[in-house]
Amino acid sequence: MQPRELSETIKAVARACGFDACGIARAESLEYLRPFYREYFSQQREQSLTYLKTNLEKRLNPALLLPGVQSVIAVLLNYYPREPLPEKNQFILSRYSYGSDYHVIIKNMMREMVLRIKAIYGALEVRSFVDSGMVAEKVWAQRCGLGWQGKNTLLIHPRAGSFFFIGILLTDLSPEPDEAGKDHCGSCDLCIRACPVGALDSPYQLQPGLCLSYHTIESDQPLPEFIKEHLSQRVYGCDICQEVCPCNRFSQPHRVAGFEPNPKLKAMTGKDFRDLTPERFEELFKGTAIYRAGYHRMMRNIRAAEGYGAMD
């Protein structure tokens, strides 16, 4: 099979498995990113970036993850909700966390994709990754032609916005690669100006220590006062830099049943969140990304938001 036909077949399989977009790039070294990471690590001394530092060599060289790798395949899965959870007089959750854990959903979809490709081509070497520190997912998605990494550091699809999860497959197949995505941010800086804590202090670079998402999801330390002051009801993640992005006016509702929120979650009130027990937390969030963060971290965030006047 010729490289172009191989590429078209892989993309057709991706669509059949439910992915919204698929692109392909040659597996090459990303050594050119080493100075960026070196400078980034030096600036983030107080933040926990162990997963990046530990996996840096693998992020720069996909051959360390799959010997003989020839291509990188990137897939996108839309998670933009049909109906956002109520925000008025309510605590706010990032849209990506509404439904079942995306890691599980995308891994299952990629497993099906690999099985279908193997059924067509026979034996092949392949490894898949979802939200893994071992792979520079947004870099590869751009190189695969699926968009560009915007000034808010997120991947932006030119016709569908940024509310997407990214999956990456490394393979020894050699399909025709796509043209890398081009930056279309231009002079727009809405995301930079909208960030309430200035976490996007430089275009295309995020400061985790100033990010609401980092502190409410990743950090297990007490929330700094300046973070508490700017939560504005947000107790898990933050979508502000996506909400203001002009490209997200093209966002369409997802087609994944598993991303629909638990009906009990949709019925929650601010008081229900404040009175959350470990048992109720498990009932609402087991099998979701929020469950991985844990009850105590969620209650820390709720109490902090409440203490700074959320829903007064």
- Reported as a single tens digit per residue, the pLDDT across 192-240 is 999 999 999 888 999 988 999 999 999 999 999 999 999 999 999 999 9
DSSP state of 72: E
Q: Is 291 exposed, middle or buried (0-12, 13-18, 19+ CB in 10 A)?
A: middle
Is the CB of residue 139 less than 8 Å from the CB of residue 30? yes
DSSP E strands, the chain: 21-26, 71-78, 92-93, 126-130, 148-149, 155-156, 164-171, 234-236
- For residues 98, 99, 100 and 101, what is the CA-based torsion angle, rounded to 10 degrees? -30
**What is the pTM for the complete model shown?**
0.95
Domain containing 154 equals: 1-312
- For residues 155, 161, 167 and 171, what is the CA-based torsion angle, rounded to 10 degrees? -80
pLDDT at position 47: 62
| DSSP codes, 212-249 | HHIIIII--SPPPHHHHHT-TTEEE---HHHHT-GGGG
Low-confidence stretches of the chain (pLDDT < 70) are: 44-49, 309-312
Is the CB of residue 253 less than 8 Å from the CB of residue 80? yes
Is the CB of residue 60 less than 8 Å from the CB of residue 17? no
SS3 105: helix
pLDDT at position 247: 97
Residues with Cβ < 8 Å from 246, sequence gap 6 or more? 188, 190
DSSP state of 276: -
C-alpha angle 281-77-294 in degrees, rounded to nearest 5: 20
- Give whole-number Cα distances, 299 to 135, 208, 264, in Å: 32, 21, 18
Look up residue 45 and give its two tokens: 């001394």
Cα–Cα distance for residue pair 171/177, rounded to 1 Å: 13
Look up residue 85 and give its two tokens: 């959870």
Cα–Cα distance for residue pair 102/95, rounded to 1 Å: 12
SS3 124: coil
Catalytic residue among 20, 101, 131, 239: 131
Quick check: is 131 catalytic? yes
Residues with Cβ < 8 Å from 312, sequence gap 6 or more? none
Number of domains the chain contains: 1
